[in-house]
Structure 1
């Protein structure tokens, strides 16, 4: 998690537990927002169960993408204390970039639903969810919030309102990048400044590239460059001392014609 570098007052909400043995939790209220965890349907044959973290922001408040930018608190969800589930993973709708003078951030300044996929250890054995959620919501005060939701997805898997909320959230995930809409690294490996070529429909002036600095990487905000009728993004890179072990760096390319998600090889 990045350090909070915002020029704001910090207010901490201590861990609490929201216990509701239903397929969705009650709302957890905090300054500037309220959140709840929702599931819908039954796990599939591989033990995957879909849900959503519902974040209702008050006007003037914001929350963050998977990589918040210069400062902020990325949302996380952890089910490691739950013996019934192997993992939980957030997906993210396309973010916006906001420039507030001394810092930039990537995220949302409107109510947002983050899709989440839970993986059961045993697809044939139903289990309650014990999920620890951590995120930040900010105005002039930044509030890092930690709470635990305990719910029972099997108690009401066919609740229409929950099913609709989950379906709409997953529908807003950008589709995978492809040859016509995506980003390709064209610099040599090990470069301190990486150049990426972007291909996409729509206006070049509308294009924004967001890259998540996972695995200890430090990245500058991608800078758009137009050359010879093509669009490039220049990114300053500081690589970690250790060898990255994941699948790559997540990115989202956003234009006025839509957005796509993809993975970049480690620089």
Structure 2
């Protein structure tokens, strides 16, 4: 009995100190007011791997969504140094909408986790993910930042700790892709109407503080949607003014409220023309 009591805490200490108990993640790579690293979050159905790209920012600093808004720099990713990686999909969490003297920007503060959905070239073979990221960070001034990280993804003895769980939460909260008019979590882009240089978006959204983010259909800049007053309860309206003709690629819209978000692609012919 005495030996068993002595052995139990010793065994726990050995387990916690063993390499398998350490979460698989690359070291933080710092560049000025920011740092980044990769976090292995395990295997998904079909052999796809889930990895988190964490970007940590000093207090008061911000970085940008894939479409930064009226100002800012979108992040650029290079995965060409990876081994046995066929395709990587970068999933962007819903950004914050920030207004200052430069206009409207779509940003992140604190620490942002970008889930990476990694498809190996050869299923079951070892995978080494390597990434170079060029991104902008801003406080009073804006400066370019760059980070390089690499991580061999675990195949045996994977330890799903708190960091891996955070990556999975970030993926679960990412905007759900739905069709125009379809609803998810009580959200829907109900209709889009246009004149030659303006689009009005009608959305179904419960509660206040509804945010709408816009891109062209090919991910390029689109004017920031401006709320329109007077919408009935359960509905929100936004207006977008274009300098020229509407993009032939249509629009991609992200609608968010209270921790839920949807993403809708609307080709140009789905936007109803009005006189």
Distance in 2 separating the partners of 1:239 and 1:217: 14
Structure 1 counterpart SS, 2:43: coil
**Paired position in structure 2 for 1:29:** 30
Cα distance in 1 between the residues matched to 2:221 and 2:241: 8
Query: Does the 8 A contact of 2:193 with 2:201 survive in 1?
Result: yes
The structural deviation recorded for 1:214 is 5.1
Deviations 1:43-84 (A, max 9, x none): 532x32111111221111001112110111222333244351
CA distance in 2: counterparts of 1:107 and 1:251, whole angstroms? 16
Structure 2: which 5+ residue stretches go unaligned? 1-22, 269-275
Judging changes above 3 Å, is the alpha-carbon distance between structure 1 residues 44 and 262 closer, same or farther for their aligned structure 2 residues?
same
The structure with the greater share of residues assigned to helix is 2
* TM-score (structure 2 length as normaliser): 0.75
2:223 is matched with which residue: 220, 224, 227? 220
Mapped partners of 1:187, 1:217: distance in 2? 20
Residues 1:213 and 1:107: Cα distance change in structure 2 (over 3 Å): farther
Q: CA deviation at 1:38?
A: 1.0
Q: CA deviation at 1:222?
A: 0.4
Kindly tell me: are residues 192 and 261 of structure 1, through their superposed partners in 2, closer, same or farther at Cα, counting changes over 3 Å? same
- 2:204 maps to 1:199: yes
2:212 counterpart (194, 209, 212): 209
**Alignment correspondent of 1:86:** 86
C-alpha distance in structure 2 between counterparts of 1:34 and 1:82, whole Å = 20
1:96-119 Cα deviation digits (max 9, x unpaired):
111111322111122221222111
Q: Do the aligned partners of residues 132 and 102 (structure 1) sit closer, same or farther apart at CA in structure 2, a change above 3 Å counting?
A: closer
* In 2, Cα distance between equivalents of 1:111 and 1:218: 24
Is the CA contact (8 Å cut-off) linking 2:31 and 2:146 kept in structure 1?
A: no
* CA distance, structure 2, for counterparts of residue 48 and residue 240 of structure 1: 37
Work out the CA distance in 2 between the residues paired with 1:144 and 1:81. 22
The structure showing larger relative contact order (alpha-carbon pairs under 8 Å, at least 6 residues apart) is 1
* Residue aligned with 1:59, SS: coil
Cα distance, 1:191–1:160 mapped onto 2, change above 3 Å: same
TM-score by length of 1: 0.77
Q: 2:49 aligns to what?
A: 49
Structure 1 counterpart SS, 2:175: coil
- Hey, what's the Cα distance between the residues in 2 that align with 1:49 and 1:42? 4
- Change in CA separation of 1:51 and 1:249 when aligned onto 2, cut-off 3 Å: farther
Residue matched to 2:256:
254
Report if aligned partners of 1:51, 1:115 keep a CA contact under 8 Å in 2: yes
Contact 1:216 1:240 in 2 (8 A): no
Q: Structure 1 CA distance, aligned partners of 2:236 and 2:44?
A: 42
Q: Please say which structure displays the higher CA radius of gyration.
A: 2
Secondary structure of the corresponding residue to residue 38 of structure 1: strand
Taking only aligned residues, the RMSD between alpha carbons, in angstroms, comes to: 2.6
What secondary structure does 1:194 align onto? strand
Count of aligned pairs between the two proteins:
237
Is the alpha carbon distance of 1:236 and 1:80 closer, same or farther for their aligned partners in structure 2, counting shifts above 3 Å?
A: farther
